[in-house]
Amino acid sequence: MIKENVQKVLRRIADTCSRIDVPPEKIGIVCVSKGRTEREIASAVDAGLGCMGENKVQEASRKCGAFPGVSWQMIGHLQSNKVKEALKIFDLIHSVDSVPLAREIDKQALKLGKVQDVFLEIKTSPEESKTGFDPRELGASFDQIRKLGNIKVGGLMTIAPLLGDPRPYFARLRGLRDRFDPSWHLSMGMSDDFEEAIEEGADIVRLGRIIFEGEK
């Protein structure tokens, strides 16, 4: 079932890419493995997915040892007191949402002798439940983050509202990216809106339910 779901997703990505003249291999999939069993994750890996996304450090630490060769990425809110452990697990953190968090990552990465790859999470919608940098303040924040020697910004991430047209929020993120660094990745789009995200410039989509449970 999971293998079939992955094949359906790949076909939808290919169809979307054909409409905007983008090679489908340019689109990366982060398989959202939070709350999934090792058997489910193994099926996703067998289906060709090599990147798993987790929301919680403790859950990821229990799983990661069972899947050598898989890239583990943090896609949920990261608390400062979890940074030290997170840097031992995650190749990429999508959800850096404040300058203090960036500084803590830089501090702990220095101790580990690594440069941590991160994306900056941007709050493109007004929902109070969302975290992320205010787009209007990103310039000042990035001026501080770019000075940190053990953290490397490689992209932007956002989450569109559950209801309504997600395109304006994706387009806003793309506009910010183009202003700061056109080479940055755009991590946006989930099970219900990944096609719209790709059409608006996403090159990384974060998919969980549609892979493990199939289409609605």
Instruction: Report the C-alpha gap between 42 and 29 in whole angstroms.
Output: 16
Instruction: Report the C-alpha gap between 32 and 35 in whole angstroms.
Output: 9
This prediction's pTM: 0.96
Domain ranges for the chain, please list them.
2-209
Tell me what pLDDT residue 61 has. 95
Question: What is the amino acid identity at position 179?
Answer: R
Query: Across residues 86-94, what is the average pLDDT?
Result: 98
Least confident segment among 14-18, 90-94, 123-127, 144-148: 123-127
Q: Quick one: which of 116, 118, 95, 99 has its CA closest to 32?
A: 95
Per-residue tokens: 196: 């719209």
Taking only the tens place, the pLDDT of each residue in 111-169 is 999 999 999 999 998 877 788 999 999 999 999 999 999 999 999 999 999 889 999 99
Tell me what pLDDT residue 136 has. 92
**Mean pLDDT rounded to a whole number for the chain:** 96
Taking only the tens place, the pLDDT of each residue in 29-65 is 999 999 999 999 999 999 999 999 999 999 999 999 9
Q: How many residues does the chain have?
A: 216
- Percent of the chain at pLDDT > 70 equals 100
Where does 2-209 sit in CATH, by number?
3.20.20.10
Tell me what pLDDT residue 166 has. 96
